[in-house]
Structure 1
Amino acid sequence: MLIFALLLATLFLAYSNGANDNFKGVATLFGSQTTSYKVAIWLATLATFAGSLASIFLAETLLKNFSGKGLVPDAIADSTEFHLAVALGAGLTVIIATLTGFPISTTHGLTGALVGAGLVAIGTQVNFEKLGSSFFLPLLISPLVAIALGAVLYGLLRFLRVRLGIQKEWCICAGETQQFIPIPQPDATNILQCIKTTDVAVDSTEKCTQRYIGKFGKITNQQLVDAFHFLSAGIVSFARGLNDTPKIVSIILIVKALSIQGAMLAVGIAIALGGILNARKVAETMSKKITAMNHGQGLIANVVTGSLVIAASGYGLPVSTTHVSVGSIFGVGLISQKANAKVFYQILLSWLLTLPIAATISAIVYWLLSR
């Protein structure tokens, strides 16, 4: 019975992960108006699923890190109760954040859940040294590195763009608007007459699209930027699937009848479903609220995110795609002077609350199961 509950809880965690995380790789595509929400979420879904399948061969270290071994004694780390508590603690934390529109880290939620269940199981004998070096340090440093790289890379490439003479242009949107004008009558009444007037607007965020002019060979600069933007979004989503899937699969490795390949496939499908069905609120936060961005700024943020997450996966470091993605977008926004510091601080607060909330839920679940 507990084994079946563990399988369901793990798939619930995977679904929650997809709902909160899938869109982060393509947020800049939607935020810069490069493509629609529908196209962006399907690109994210397919690329993330491909990353989930690739993790079968490329992410063994992360499987070991999130099994709980090394943090608590093997006897506890191999127990169904411990893994069920971790899955529920992380899953409930992530789905709550998703429903409220906050992009939090599943990695952070899993780390908090491991700590919470571990503290109930063995008290302060939890291996905090391993916890600090293998979990907290990468989670703390990665967003700072992403902010710095996003700011520096955008500043450098903007400088190069100006030196190379690549200019930007704004479209002018013209149309008609209707207005109702009251016309006084002799009997002290008014008649409303509808008139049409021409409306012309130059607007970068709502009515108009900023584009790069000029050509590189036979391809326009705008087409080149958009092509690399789509490619980078696919890479970020692929990297997210590669980095997150093994963390979730590690929870159900104790089920002997389930192969690693089968577990990866099931978790990958659940992640994909979560993104398709429940990503809209987090998508709005990531795409529109952290900073306004154009095509080039979105591309640079994605390049930084994809590079850092792929590098971390290769070294077995459990960085958060959320932290890296938000950090790179905010770093670009700082240089363009469009960053919304208030929204960024709210997201930081949600990150700070993730660990204690996940730890509390996991601790309660493990306490109930062990008794």
Structure 2
Amino acid sequence: MILIILFLAACFLAYSNGANDNFKGVATLFGSSTTNYKKAIAWATITTFAGSIAAIFLASTLVKNFSGKGLVPDTLIQSPEFAISIALGAAITVFMATKIGMPISTTHSLVGALFGSGVVAVGTAFNFAKLGNTFLMPLIVSPLMAAVISLLAYLLFKKLRSLLGVAKETCICVGQEKKAILKAGNHKEFLTAEMESSQTLNLMKQEECIEKYEGNFIGINAQKMLDFAHYISAGIVSFARGLNDTPKIVGLLIVINTLDIKWGMIAVALAMAIGGLLNAKKVGEMMSKKITPMNSGQGFTANLVTGLLVTTASVHGLPVSTTHVSVGSIFGIGTVTKKADLKVIRNILLSWLLTLPIAAICSATIYWLLLHFK
């Protein structure tokens, strides 16, 4: 029974992870109006699932790291109660953040949960040095790196676009406008309405304006090529997220010796996909619309930087947060365009600061209850 509870707890964590994280890879597709929400979440689901399956072959180091190996004694790692408390502590934290639309890090939640249960279980025997070097440093450094690299990459691409003669189109609305004209009828007590049309030429509001690129590159329309590249970069980010996050959750299942890790990864991948399809919209709108307005070129740049950083980290076993990297990349774009909403960024940063202690408290409480009431 305790092993079944552990499996369900891991699936709940995967569901919460999908709800909070799945849309992050395609946020710029939706934010730049390159596609609508339904198409964006469908693309995210397919590519995230592909990354989860790839993790079976490429991410064994992360599975070991997030089992708690090296942080606590090996005997504790084999305890189902310890793994359940980590899974539920992290899942509750991520699920609450999803409900209020805050994009937090599942990685950060897992680290907090490992810390909370680990300290309750072994006290000062907990390996605080490894916690800092292996987990916390990548989480702190990665968003800063992403912001700087995306800023520099956007400036580079902007210069390259200018050299290739690809220019932004002016956004105007041309068409006919119909107005109802009220006129007195034959009887004074009645009024009649007639429709009168006229040609109009209006400048769009900034928030309604969709910037397009005109010109050709190697004989292909620049906007079509950019949209294609944007889709590919969004797919890379989602693939990298599945590759990076799936083994972190599966690491909690290694105490179930009767369950093959491959089947564990498939179960986690399915739960993540369902969570994203059912509960991703609030976080998706926060990432897409509220950090900074962006066009397709800026969105492509942010996704490219995020995908490269997260994929590199996954292959080398570094537990970076896709959330932190993605938000950092989008904020880097907003910094260079001077359109970033600093109030939104401040709220997101506050949620990041609270993630670790909340996960630690939830996990520690659950572990204490499991030990005393089993």
TM-score by shorter chain over 0.5: yes
Query: Could you tell me how far apart the structure 2 residues matched to 1:192 and 1:90 are?
Result: 65
Matched, 1:24 2:24: yes
- CA 1:247–1:192: 2 relative to 1, 3 Å: farther
Deviation string, structure 1 residues 216-239 (Cα, Å, up to 9, x no partner): 233101111111101101111000
What is the CA–CA distance in structure 2 between the aligned matches of 1:203 and 1:304, rounded to whole Å? 31
Aligned to 1:42: 42
Matches of 2:155 and 2:205, distance apart in 1: 20
Tell me how far 1:125 sits from its aligned partner.
2.3
Shift of 1:184: 9.5
Whether the aligned pair in 2 keeps the contact of 1:142 and 1:319 (CA below 8 Å) is yes
Write the distance in 2 (CA, Å) between the matches of 1:367 and 1:355. 18
Paired residue for 1:158?
A: 158
Q: Distance in 2 between matches of 1:305 and 1:93?
A: 24
Q: Deviations over 1:49-92 (max 9, x none)?
A: 00000000000110010001211111112100000000000001
Structure 2 equivalent of residue 268 of structure 1 = 269
What letter is aligned with 2:216? K
Q: For the structure 1 residues 59 and 165, does the alpha-carbon distance in structure 2 shift closer, same or farther, using more than 3 Å as the test?
A: same
Q: Which amino acid aligns with 1:15?
A: Y
The 5-angstrom pairing of residues 297-312 of structure 1 reads 297-312=298-313
Contact 2:164 2:217 in 1 (8 A): no
1:101 is matched with 101
State whether residues 102 and 286 of structure 2, in contact with CA within 8 Å, keep that contact through their aligned partners in structure 1.
yes
CA distance in 1 between partners of 2:194 and 2:352 (Å): 52
Amino acid at match of 1:231: I
Given that residues 106 and 321 in structure 2 are in contact (C-alpha distance below 8 angstroms), is that contact kept between their aligned partners in structure 1?
A: yes
Structure 2 residue 210 is the aligned partner of structure 1 residue 209: yes
Match of 1:133 in 2: 133
Kindly indicate whether the alpha-carbon contact (under 8 Å) linking 2:18 and 2:272 is maintained by their aligned counterparts in 1.
Answer: yes
Corresponding position of 1:239: 240
Unaligned 5+ segments in structure 2 are none
Q: Structure 1 residue 164: deviation in Å?
A: 2.7
CA offsets, 1:262-314, max 9 Å, x none? 00100000001111111000010000000000010000000100000001001
User: Percent identity, aligned pairs only?
Assistant: 57
Q: Distance in 1 between matches of 2:205 and 2:161?
A: 19
In the alignment, the residues of structure 2 paired with residue 166 and residue 173 of structure 1 have an alpha-carbon distance, to the nearest angstrom, of 22
Distance 2:332 2:252 in 1: 34
Indicate the residue corresponding to 2:294 in structure 1: 293
> 2: distance between equivalents of 1:189 and 1:284?
51
The amino acid across from 1:136 in the alignment is L
**Contact 1:18/1:275 (8 A) holds in 2:** yes
Structure-2 residue corresponding to 1:121: 121
State the distance in 1 between where 2:235 and 2:135 align: 26
In the alignment, the residues of structure 2 paired with residue 130 and residue 99 of structure 1 have an alpha-carbon distance, to the nearest angstrom, of: 32
Once the two structures are superposed, the pairs formed by residues 51-90 of structure 1 within 5 Å of their partners are 51-90=51-90
Q: Following TM superposition, by how much is the alpha carbon of 1:191 offset from its aligned partner in structure 2, in angstroms? A: 5.9
What is the TM-score of this pair, normalised by structure 2?
0.94
Change (3 A) 1:315 1:196: farther
Residues 176 and 196, structure 1, Cα contact 8 Å, conserved in 2 = no
Shift of 1:203: 2.8
- Normalising by structure 1, what TM-score? 0.95
Corresponding residue pairs, total: 371
**8 Å contact from structure 2 (residues 48, 242) kept in 1:** yes
Structure 2 residue aligned with 1:340: 341
Q: Determine the C-alpha separation between the residues in 1 that align with 2:284 and 2:196.
A: 37
User: CA deviation digits over 1:66-120, x for unaligned, max 9?
Assistant: 0012111111121000000000000010011111000000000000000010111
What is the distance in 2 between the residues matched to 1:8 and 1:332? 39
**Do residues 251 (structure 1) and 257 (structure 2) align?**
no
Distance 1:67 1:205 in 2: 48
Aligned with 1:201: secondary structure? strand
Q: Hey, what's the Cα distance between the residues in 2 that align with 1:219 and 1:297?
A: 20
Q: Deviations over 1:114-151 (max 9, x none)?
A: 00101111123211000000000000000000000011
- CA displacement at 1:177 relative to structure 2: 5.6
Work out the CA distance in 2 between the residues paired with 1:194 and 1:27: 45
- Say whether residues 1:33 and 2:33 are aligned partners: yes
Shift of the 294–76 alpha-carbon distance from structure 1 to 2, 3 Å rule, reads same
Q: Give the drift of 1:171.
A: 3.8
Instruction: Provide the rounded CA distance (Å) in 1 between the counterparts of 2:244 and 2:258.
Output: 24
The match for 2:145 is 145
Amino acid corresponding to residue 324 of structure 2 in structure 1: H
Moved more, 347-356 or 67-76: 67-76
Q: Which amino acid aligns with 2:32?
A: S
Question: Compared with structure 1, are the counterparts of its residues 163 and 120 closer, same or farther at alpha carbon in structure 2 (3 Å cutoff)?
Answer: same
Task: Note the C-alpha offset of 1:354.
Answer: 0.4
Counterpart for residue 322 of structure 1:
323
User: 2:29–2:296: 8 Å Cα contact kept in structure 1?
Assistant: yes
Whether the aligned pair in 2 keeps the contact of 1:205 and 1:292 (CA below 8 Å) is no
Q: Distance in 1 between matches of 2:224 and 2:321?
A: 31
Equivalent residue letter for 2:316: Y
Are residues 183 and 235 of structure 1, via their aligned partners in 2, closer, same or farther at CA, if it must alter by over 3 Å? same
In angstroms, what is the RMSD of aligned CA positions? Answer: 2.0
User: What one-letter code is carried by the residue in structure 2 that aligns with 1:84?
Assistant: I
Kindly state the Cα deviation for residue 204 of structure 1 after the two structures are TM-superposed: 6.5
Structure 1 SS opposite 2:169: strand
